[in-house]
Each structure stands twice: as structure tokens, then as C-alpha cells.
Structure 1
Amino acid sequence: MVLQVHGSPIGVTSIVIAGLASMGGFLFGYDTGQIACMIIMPDFQRRFATGPIGSDGLPAWNSWIEGLITSFLSIGTAIGVLCGAPLADGLGRRHAMSVEVGVFLVGVIIQVTAFTAWYQVAIGRLVTGLAIGALSAAVPLYQSETVPRQVRAALVATYQLFITFGILVAYLIGIGTDQISNSASWRLLIALSIPFALLLGIGIQFCPESPRWLAARGRNDEAYKSLANVRGCTVEESNPWVEQEYADILALVESDKKLEPAGWAACFRPQRRTLYRTLLGITLQAGQQFTGANYFFYYGSTIFTGAGLSNAFYTQAILGAVNFVCTFGGLYILETYGRRLPLIYGAAGMSVWLCVFATAGVAGNANTKPIADLQIVSACFFLLFYATTWAPGIWLFVGESFSYRTRAKQASLATLANWVSNFLISYFSPAIASAIDFGYGYVFMGCNIANCIIAYCFVYETESLTLEAVDQLYNAGIPAWRSRKWVPEGYESRDQVKAQDSMDDNATHIDDPSPQWKSKPDPLTGEETDKARKNPGVKGMTQTA
């Protein structure tokens, strides 16, 4: 089955890759959602909470132990994300993901076999965090390197969509298992992540490997086959889209051979704006966490219980549903309006609604229904802006903004910042919120104002560009706010790039190429591209560079 996007062929394999690999995001979201449910389950509290007995007959949580159980996942992910780069580079993107799923399953077993030691649950979450962190580096990397650029934004953003789906599924299962009076209430909630993990670990082996990873290791025939697969064609078919991307990848590989191997230190070299992109990735990933979204996801049930709502589980599920549904809008927005504007306006919108949320809690009586309703509404609008902009947009930035030589390592460093920030929020939030209550929302409001300024000043517009063209953009010597006007050589505007993608009949352009296209020698052999493949009827059509 072959779809047409902007006149470009897109194989159903591309959609399968996006969905299956994004199960790594689902596992992250599921773990995020499950702890928010477990922490208020009676049996879980009786076994692991260490505070004095409350009026409900349950021991209260020590805020620091509560923070540790929640945040140990983030400690693991911070370590795991650094392991993700060497695993993805050494084993390949797919095999690395399968190994990481194995580690995840070990962590789940440690958690479900806990009885009264809270630190066993924390250690189990640490181990699952190792896997989730490594997956968070490998999945967007694999997706951005493999799927066609015409659908890259939407398909890479499915990683965030599946995070929200995982959160929602955990909330819904939590509502069901909360009715169980014994330890099955939380053990079952944890164990149900196993089939989702197996689906990723086994299923990903039936997907093609990243063509860029294959070409970098001299496996050119496999790289070409992978490119053809995601376009929905075979190696024997004449497809100029495959020929173009194949030639561009080989040219980049040949260029990289002249450079020394790239270690971790290469991520911090100013040449070719590598340092700029590393620091920007770190800043944006940290900024995504400091939007305040995970404050609601981790502690939403506690927040709304404190606001006088007895059905905090259901309120949390509503927020999870809003987050999930709105993320679909993010897929459309990133494809339609690019990367810069959504990040700028998204941060501004989140600032406004966090201000409403915090002011309602601080100035009003939080135990009254009108104030509680206003807080729920403001939280939903906050999630609307978050889910459509910063949630998927930052993962897309990580997938497409780094040069190939250092891409895996830069993605790991940037994602490390996400997990470190995640840890800070999950660990310190209970103590901070108990001290300043809903005034905590003002802290995140200030962070979003800073995010808005950073996005305007430093984020480049990479919409509709190949990964190789993105590298040229960052080295074009123009400021970020003028990046929307930059185009590859041979084009006059981004609209023309899109129009080129919208050619109705590719065969016409094989016989009668437009001025923007021409045959180009294979970078490795010096022969015409069609001679580099065992496909004499196909002329390589590549952009002039």
C-alpha cells in the first residue's frame, strides 16, 4: 500500500515504523501515569508510606520518600539516555531498542515482587528508567533517519502522542484496579506494561534499519532497500525520490570519511555550529520539563484532592484525555506551521493559563467548587497549548536538528537534560508545593516566558528540509528569526520546496527534469546514480547542491 503526500510516495511501512517505535514513548507515559495512581492507592500506602496514621486510617506519605519513589525513574532515565547513544550506534537503532526492552522487563519484575520495602519499588523504577531513557534517545533518532521528510514532523511527533496515550491508559487502568482492595490494585497496574514492551521489542525487528546508519557502515544495498521500503516500492522499481535521498546520504557519508571519528567531545566543538545545536537541544529539552506539564501528570491527583475534589482519579483521567486528544492537533500544527511559531506561541499560551491556575488557587478558596472548576479548566487549556506545541515539537527538534556524525550523542545529551529536569521536578515538587501551595504555578509561568524568548531568538525553522539540508541551514550564517526564508540552492522559497514535493507525476520529471533537478554522479563510484544501482532504467534525480 502506497500513500501520496505532497505528490510523494509514502509506504505504509513508514506509518508502521512511527507507531511501533513510538511504543517506547508509550512505556514512558505509562510509567508516568501509573505512579500518579499508585501513590494514592490504599494498599500501596499501607505497605510503603512511613508517616503517621491519618483520619482515613492510612499512613501519610513522607514528602521526601514520595519524591524518591517517583523520581527514581528519572534518575534511571538520566543514566540510560547516555547509554542510548553508544547502543544505537554500535548495535543499530532496532537491535538497541530490543535490548532496552529487555532491561525494562527486569525493572517491572523488581517492582511487582515488592512487599513492604519502598526502596525496592524505587529500585525497580530506576531499572525501568534505564530502558526508558535509552529508548528516548533511540526512538526519535530512528524515526527521523528512516521516515520520508514529507511526513517526518507528523511521524516523529507520534513519539509524544504515544507518551500521552500511555499516561491516559495508565490513568484508566488505575481507575479500574483501584477498586481492588489488595495488592493486585497496584501490581496489576505495573504488570500490564509487559505486553506493550514485548510488542516493541519483538515487532521492531520486522522493520527496516535506519538507511543512514547502514550507509555509514558501507552497507549501501541495504540502505537503498530501506529507503525503497519506506517509500512503498521495491529495489527494482524506478523511483526518483529514493534515488535522490540515496545519493544525498552517500555524499554525506563520503564527506564524513575525511573527518576524524566523532566522540563525545565533538558535540562541544564550535565548528559547523555543533556546540550551538548541542546547547540549544539541552536548553529546549530542559525547557520542556519546566513548562510544568509533569507537575500535573505526577501529582495531579494530589493537587486536585487538595483543591477539594473527592474524585481526583477522574479529574486526572480528564486531564490525560485532554492531553492525548490535543496531541493530534500538534501533529497537524507542526506539519502546517513549522517548528518556530508553535514553540513561541505555545510557551506564551502556557504562561497565561498557568497564571490563571496559580492565581485562582492563591487568591481564591481552593476548597470551593467554582475555584476548583476554574483550576481544572485552566489546567486543560494549559495542556492544550502544551500538547500541540512543546510536547511533540521538542522531540522533533532532537530528531532532525543535529548533523549525522554526532546526532546520536547530541540527542542523548539533549534528552539527558530532559530527564535531569524531570528528576528535579518529580523529587522537589511535593516539598515545594507543600511550602508555597498553588504559588508553584507562578514558577512555571516564569519558565514558559523564558521558553518563549529562547524559541524566538535561537530556534531555526527546519520545515520541509531534508536532514542534510538542515545541516546546511545551521551553517548558512543567518539568525534564527530569518531562517524561514532560507532555502536549498536551486529554490527561491520554502513554498517552492513544497511545490516541488507536490509534483503529480514523478515519471514526467524523470524524462523531462525541471531546472531544480539534474543527474548526479554517485559519490562513491563516480558513475551516474542509475549505474550505481542494478537498475538501468532509473536516472538519479537529485537537487543541485
Structure 2
Amino acid sequence: MPSKEKVTFIACFMGLVASIGGFMFGYVSGQISGYFGMDDYARRFGDANGNFSAVRQGTITGLLPAGCLVGALISGKLADTVGRRLAISISALWASIGIVIEISSEAAWYQFAIGRLVTGFSIGSLSVVVPMYQSESSPAIIRGILVSTYQLFITLGIWTSYVVDWGTADKPNSASWRIPNGIGFAWSLILGVGILFLPESPRYAYTRGRTEEARRTIARMGGIDENDPIVNNQINQIRVKLEEELAQGKASWIEIFTGPRMFYRTVLGIVLQAGQQLQGANFFFYYGTTIFQATGLKDSYVTQIILGSVNVACTFAGLWVVHKVGRRKALMAGAAWTFVCFIIYTFVGQFALDPVNPQNTPQAGSALIVFSALAIAAFATTWGPIVWIAVAELYPTRYRAPCMALATASNWLWNFLISFFTRFITDKIHYWYGLVFAGCCLVLVFVVFFFLMETKDRSLEEIDTMYLLHVNPIHSAKWDGSKVPEDSAPSSSHGQEQVLKQEPQSQPTV
């Protein structure tokens, strides 16, 4: 009877250490909103009256995701050149440079903004390479959960930044914002050094001719013997895919659109990552203070902690969802759920809330809080963690790095646009802004239904074959690769089919 992969300590440890990159993302993203309420920060970087114009506040907030966009675009080349593990280390340690620029700022707000831009290069690179490393190294049975820990750590980072801001906000000097900034050095050092004690991605190691290293890593991560049929099957699949890619020659950027079924997958990845932002969770974080003021809650730091706590708690639930439910059903349910929340939120805020004195309409305010929290819960259990998994699984090794870089860049682009323009838009149209996100959520339901494969518990090579064979996404959960007719496979995957047929029947498909 063939042996089975196990849930091993080393695989879980790898997922958790790499996910510190997500913690850095969340911590840096979340801390800035608290700074604007600190007296010393306002005196140094605000106008003569200690206020922030929409342009200044938007620039300080938005230059982080702008830097992340650049970092995401260059990360693919870095990961393919020095390896996934070393790319994570370099990217993590780079964040220290941006932190130094921010902490050393005295009165020039643009210096602080530039520091966030530099830090963004690191965070953007990590947002590509960490899920890539996790997806390539994880056993198939727990790949969804391990990649989901990246989003879990993002929420933990956001929550931690809120608590630290709350703890230092009352300090009368620059310690109020310099202490939260300085703590960021710890996360950078832990990840930059810690990742070097973990093995390289087996798929990257194999592409560099380190076959035995790849075999050992697969066996170690799965808790099985190096000669186990499961290991042999995975090495065989990686070898066949690599031979196909070598036969095609060196990949160029244009091939991520012209390669076999690559236009479909590249565009889908871009849309899914953009959808994670357009699903609207960041809108509630940016506009949350106003929402909670509707019930008389004045402390904006308490507001942030409440929203952050909902985000963290529901992301834990998201780990169960991705393991039990899969990708398609969860994403469609999450988008539909958020659509309903935004519809109710918009019309309650526009027609039931007293815009001059919201304390006069406490029931409307309570409804806004409830549906804001429900929308965040929908995001945290579905679109937050699952998009990182779905995109990491979409592409073959030949195109994975540049495709993930481009897809993640679209996430950062929309992150920047929302963070920079939210205040301008809400000042003009107020709660009607929610209909924009509601419409996007409705579209995302149909995008997932018609275009995304169900990839739960499948190997990355098997997922690639599904796309090459034009498996209908609607029926993809029931697809059985062992029953594929010989003449139905495209030429780019024909070699793999032939090799798999030569394997003993006792070797299962992972």
C-alpha cells in the first residue's frame, strides 16, 4: 500500500517563517493610519496648524504601495537569479534602509514618504517571492493552509501595528511614532536571517541541477522516504516540465502572454489580485474611523483595534475554509457576501444616517458597524488568504516568477489607487462610494465561476496540465487526470502524459 505524505514540523515551520514577510507587509501598512493622530507627528509633518491635506496624507500613505508595485515587478527576476530563499532574505533586510530613512526624518514630510517608498520595494518583493516559495516547497495536502498563513500574518501584522500605535500614541515626543517604526527592524532581521536556515524550493533547486537536494527536500517536507513513490512521481513531473521548458528555449516576458494558455492565466492572475483590493476591505480600514464615530466611539485607535481583531479572527477561520472548501466556492461565496454587505452599508449610510450629527441615528450607526465587520469577515475568510494561493498555483515553473510579479503588481497598483484617492472620493460622494465595490464584487463572482479552476489537493504540475487541456473550470473539481484520452493532450504536455503512462500503477498522482 503506497505511503502518504504527512503534516511535518519542518513544512509548518517553513510556512510560518516565510510568512513573516506577510507580517512585515501588514505591520508597515497598518501603522501609518495611527501616526496621523499623533501630536508630535502632526507638528513635524503636517502644515502650520498640524493638519494634513488630502494630497499630503495621500502621498505619505500611497508611496508605500507605489514602492511595493516596483518591488513586485523586479522580484521575479531576483527570485529566478539568486533563488527563492536568498531573494526573501535580501528583500527582508532591504526594509531596514527604508526604516532608517523614516526614523531619521525631522521635519520634512517628503523624507518620511520617501522612506516608505524604499520600504515598499522590500514589501512588494516579499509579496511575490514568499507565496512562490511556499507553494513550490509545500506538500500538496497542506499547500493551501501554508500559503494562507501569509495572509494570516498580514492581518496579525496590521493588528500588532494598531496595538503598538495605541500604546505609544500618548507620548508627547517623537517616541510616539519612532518606537513603532523602530520595532520594524526586528521583523526584518528575523525573516532575513531565519529564512537562510530553511531549504531552497525543490523546484528551483531542480532547475539548477541540484536533483538530490530537490529529492531530499520533497521527502523531508512530506515526512516520507527519499525513494517513496510519491517523491519519485513529483521528481518525474518536475523533470518532464523542465524538459519541455528547456526545449522551448529561454523564456521572454512576452511569452507570459503568448505561451501555451498563458494569456488566459496571466490575465486571470492580474484580475484576481486586483479583485482582492476591489473587494473593498481596505475601504473599511481607511473609512473606519468615520463609521465608528456614528455610534459615539471617538477613539480612532480603539476603532482600528476592533476592525483588526475581526480581521485576524476570521483569517484563522479562513485556514479551515481553504482546506475544506477549496478555492472556487469560497471565493464566489466571499464576493457575494461582500456584495450584500456593501449594498446595505451604502443605502443605510446615505439615507438612514444623520450626516450632520450621526449620534442622532444610533441604529443606523450600529448597522454600519455590523455590516462593516461582516464585510471584513468575508474578506478575511475568503479573498484575503485564497487569492495568494490561487495565483501561486496558476503558472508553470517557466513563467511562475514573472507572472506572479505582474499579478501582484496589479494588487499593489489598486492598493495605491484606493489609499491615495479614497479621501478625495468620499469627500465628494460619501457613502455612494460603496456601490463601486459592490459592483466589483458582483463581477468577481462570475469571473471565478467561469474562469478559475478548482485546484485543491492537486500538484502544481497537475494544475498546469488542467489548464493546457482546457478543462472546464465549472467541472474542474471532478476532473480525473488518469482518464485523459491520449490524443486530447496538447503538444506541450504530450511528453508528460507519455512519461506518466510509464510509471507503475502503484504510484499515485500527488
TM-score (norm 1): 0.86
CA contact (8 A) 1:112 1:190 kept: yes
Query: What is the distance in 1 between the residues matched to 2:372 and 2:260?
Result: 41
Counterpart amino acid of residue 386 in structure 2: G
**What is the aligned counterpart of 2:325 among 330, 337, 361?**
337
2:456 maps to 1:463 = yes
Q: 1:200 aligns with which of 191, 205, 225?
A: 191
In structure 2, give the amino acid aligned to 1:309: L
| 2:472 matches 1:542 | no
1:3-29 CA distances to partner (integer Å, 9 max, x unpaired)? xxx952232111011100011111111
**CA-CA distance at 1:460 after TM superposition:** 1.1
Distance 2:467 2:498 in 1: 26
Matching of residue 123 in structure 1 with residue 114 in structure 2: yes
Aligned counterpart in structure 1 of residue 274 of structure 2, from 270, 286, 306: 286
The CA deviation at 1:541 is: 5.6
Distance verdict in 2 for CA 1:522–1:354, change over 3 Å: closer
Contact 1:245–1:542 (8 Å) recurs in 2: no
Shift of 1:207: 0.6
Matched residue type, 1:345:
A
Name the structure 2 match of 1:32.
Answer: 29
Any conservation in 2 of the 1:240–1:540 contact (CA below 8 Å)? Answer: no
Q: Out of 406, 415, 431, which is 1:413 matched to?
A: 406
**Which of 109, 134, 153 is 1:162 aligned to?**
153
Q: CA deviation at 1:488?
A: 1.4
SS state at 1:9 partner: coil
C-alpha distance in structure 2 between counterparts of 1:341 and 1:283, whole Å: 17
Q: Which amino acid aligns with 1:259?
A: Q
Q: Which residue of 1 aligns with 2:416?
A: 423
Work out whether 1:377 is the aligned partner of 2:398. no
CA contact (8 A) 1:36 1:300 kept: no
The residue that corresponds to 1:536 in the other structure is none
**Which one of the candidate residues 233, 258, 261 is aligned to 1:244?**
233
Tell me which residue corresponds to 1:365: 354
Given candidates 55, 61, 64, the residue that maps to 1:64 is 55
Aligned to 1:16: 13
Question: After superposition, where does 1:368-517 map in structure 2 within 5 Å?
Answer: 368=359, 369-489=362-482
Partners in 2 of 1:106 and 1:165 — Cα distance?
23
1:3 — aligned with what?
none
Measure, in 2, the Cα distance between the counterparts of 1:169 and 1:226. 33
Please list the CA deviations of residues 60-96 of structure 1 after superposition, one character each: whole Å capped at 9, or x if unmatched: 2101110000000011001000111011110000101
Specify whether residues 297 and 260 from structure 1 end up closer, same or farther in structure 2 by C-alpha distance, changes over 3 A only: same
For each residue in 1:257-308, what CA deviation from the matched residue of structure 2 results, as whole angstroms up to 9, or x when unmatched? Answer: 2111112111011x42111000000011111101111122344335534775
Q: Is the 8 A contact 2:230 2:509 kept in 1?
A: no
Q: For residue 358 of structure 1, report the CA deviation from its aligned partner.
A: 2.0
For residues 274 and 406 of structure 1, do their structure 2 counterparts lie closer, same or farther at Cα, with a shift above 3 Å needed? same
Structure 1, 291-300 or 415-424: larger mean CA deviation: 291-300
Instruction: Judge conservation of contact 2:326–2:456 (CA < 8 Å) in 1.
Output: yes
One-letter amino acid matched to 1:365: D
Asked if the contact 1:338/1:463 (under 8 Å) is kept, the reply is: yes
2:201 pairs with 198, 210, 222, which one? 210
Q: Could you tell me which residue of structure 2 aligns to residue 533 of structure 1?
A: none
Shift in Å, 1:39: 1.7
Q: Which of 251, 257, 261 is the aligned partner of 2:246? A: 257
| Residue of structure 1 aligned with 2:221, choices 230, 238, 241 | 230
**Normalising by the residue count of structure 2, what TM-score does the alignment of the two structures yield?**
0.92
The equivalent residue for 1:185 is: 176
* Whole-Å separation in 2 of the counterparts to 1:102 and 1:311: 35
Which protein is richer in helix relative to its size? 2
Q: Is the 8 A contact 1:343 1:393 kept in 2?
A: yes
What pairs up with 1:319-338 in 2 under 5 angstroms?
A: 319-338=307-326
Give the residue type in structure 2 aligned to 1:35: I
**Match of residue 273 from structure 1:** 261
Task: Give the 3 Å change call, closer, same or farther, for CA 362–223 of structure 1 in structure 2.
Answer: same
**Identity within the alignment, %:** 39
Q: Is residue 287 of structure 2 the alignment partner of residue 296 of structure 1? A: no
**Moved >4 Å (runs of 4+):** 305-308, 520-523
SS at match of 2:6: strand
Q: Distance in 1 between matches of 2:39 and 2:369?
A: 25
Q: Which amino acid aligns with 1:276?
A: Y
Q: 1:479: how far off?
A: 2.8
RMSD: 2.2
Distance in 2 separating the partners of 1:293 and 1:372:
18
1:354 aligned onto 2:347:
no
Distance 1:180 1:128 in 2: 25
1:278 and 1:382 mapped to 2: Cα distance?
28
Is 1:112 the equivalent of 2:109?
Answer: no
| Aligned positions, number | 491
Aligned to 1:171: 162
Q: In structure 1, which of residues 71, 74, 77 is the aligned counterpart of residue 68 of structure 2?
A: 77
Q: CA deviation at 1:490?
A: 5.2
CA contact (8 A) 1:243 1:540 kept: no
SS class of match (2:7): strand
Instruction: Decide whether aligned partners of structure 1 residues 75 and 399 sit closer, same or farther in structure 2, where only a CA change above 3 A counts.
Output: same
Q: Distance in 2 between matches of 1:233 and 1:457?
A: 38
Counterpart code for 2:25: F
Q: How does 1:132-147 map to 2 (within 5 A)?
A: 132-147=123-138
Asked if 2 retains the 8 angstrom alpha-carbon contact of 1:105 and 1:197, the reply is yes
